[in-house]
Structures are given as C-alpha cells and as structure tokens.
A and B are shown apart, each in its own frame.
Chain A
Amino acid sequence: GDSVTQMEGPVTLSEEAFLTINCTYTATGYPSLFWYVQYPGEGLQLLLKATKADDKGSNKGFEATYRKETTSFHLEKGSVQVSDSAVYFCALSRTGGFKTIFGAGTRLFVKA
C-alpha cells in the first residue's frame, strides 16, 4: 500500500542554518504530495503541496520539489528561524481527494 517515510528527528539547528528534511514515498500512480506543519499545541497547517512530477511547492521560505524518478519530496529552507520550531509531516494523497497518508513526522528545534 501507499506509504511515506521521512527522516527521524529531532533535528536541532541554529538560527539561519539551512534545513533539509528528507521524505520519500511509495505509491502507485501519481499522488499529490504535501508538507504539513504542526506548531506546539496546535492543529495541522498545510505548508506546501505539489500535484505532479517536477512541481515545486513553496511557502514562507520553504520549498519542496516533486521528484518522480527518486520518489522524493524533500523539504528545504535556506535560513531557519526560531519560529520555525515545529513538527513537520510529509504526506501523500491520491488524486480524487482520498485519505491522506502521513509520514511519522520530524520535530525541528531551532536555537537562537
């Protein structure tokens, strides 16, 4: 079945460091890919998405490119801030709005 694998955390970075959180997926067909963020004590927020191969999703300085050949959707940010500290979930959903499959989540701590 469909699955999402993302790097284990926690990831601890200093402010202004470069961030990469790896995410790979297994799915038949062409799923849509997402990154969600969950700040402490809050619900899920959609961070960015990509719906087809080679699409790049971007938002708030974060980027991820849908790589069909490597079945990956790695999240990157050039300069993290303390306010980026949160849990980041990679996810996929089949075309047609079916259920969303989540990765395990990666906790990010950014130190001032």
Chain B
Amino acid sequence: GAVVSQHPSRVICKSGTSVKIECRSLDFQATTMFWYRQFPKQSLMLMATSNEGSKATYEQGVEKDKFLINHASLTLSTLTVTSAHPEDSSFYICSARDRDSGNTIYFGEGSWLTVV
C-alpha cells in the first residue's frame, strides 16, 4: 500500500539553529501534503497545507517565516523550523493526498523535534 515516509524520525538541535523535516510519498504522487503539530498529550493541529509548485497555505496563528514549507516535487514536501527555540519542541507529522486513489490521505510516521 501507499506509504508516506518522514525523515528524520527524531532530531535534537540547538536553540537558534534551523532544522529540516522531509515528508515523502514513496509510491504515489501527492499534489497536496499537510503538516501537523502535536503538543504533548494534545491533539494534532494543522499547521499548513502544502501544494506542489505553489506557496503553502498556513493556518491562522502559524508563523510562515518560522515554519518554511517547500513542496518542490510531487513526492516531497519539507518543513524547515527556522531559528528554533525550546518551545518549538514537538511532534510534527505530515500527511499526503493520493489523488489517483480517490484522494485517500496517508500519514507519515512523524518526527520528534527537541530543541535544547
């Protein structure tokens, strides 16, 4: 079946640095991908919708200059957390829409980010 892969699964970075998380659709083309954030013991909150070849659409309250999203190909979207701070530590998870299978949504495994 379709698989969405995220990398890295866990990353620790220092405050002030930037970190990139990749989301890949492994056996289908995804014109649309979604990025979510999950705080400890809370639900998943949509951060942005990533569309291939165009700018991402950010949800209200999400800083677009801090969370840079690039969807340069039909199988890859990246989320870059710029100038990371400890409060950015969270679980980030992506999903991808498979247009060729009835717009089914597949989720990645998620990425744990710890900023120290």
Q: How many residues belonging to A are interface residues under a CB distance threshold of 8 Å?
A: 19
Q: What residues of A have a CB within 8 angstroms of the CB of B99 in the complex? A: 97
**Count the A-B residue pairs with Cβ separation under 8 angstroms: how many?**
44
The yes or no answer to B62 lying at the interface (CB within 8 A) is: no
Most buried by A among B41, B105, B108: B105
Interface of B, helix, strand, loop or mixed by DSSP: strand
Known contacts A43-B108, A43-B109, A102 near B43 by CB under 8 Å = yes
Contact of B44 among A42, A46, A89 (CB under 8 A): A89
Supposing A43-B93, A44-B93, A97-B97 touch, asked if A102 and B44 sit within 8 A by C-beta, the answer is yes
**Quick one: CB contact mask for A85-112 with B, threshold 8 Å, 1 for yes?**
0000100010111011111110100000
Known: A43-B93, A43-B110, A44-B93. A97 touches B43 (CB 8 A): no
Minimal Cβ-Cβ distance residue in A for B46: A99
Chain B residue with the shortest CB-CB distance to A90 = B43
Q: Are A100 and B34 in contact (CB under 8 A)?
A: yes
Contact with A along B88-110 (1 / 0, CB 8 A): 00000101011100111101111
Q: Contacts of B75 on A, CB cut-off 8 Å?
A: none
CB–CB A89/B43 < 8 A: yes
Instruction: Find out whether the CB atom of A105 lies under 8 angstroms from the CB atom of B105.
Output: no
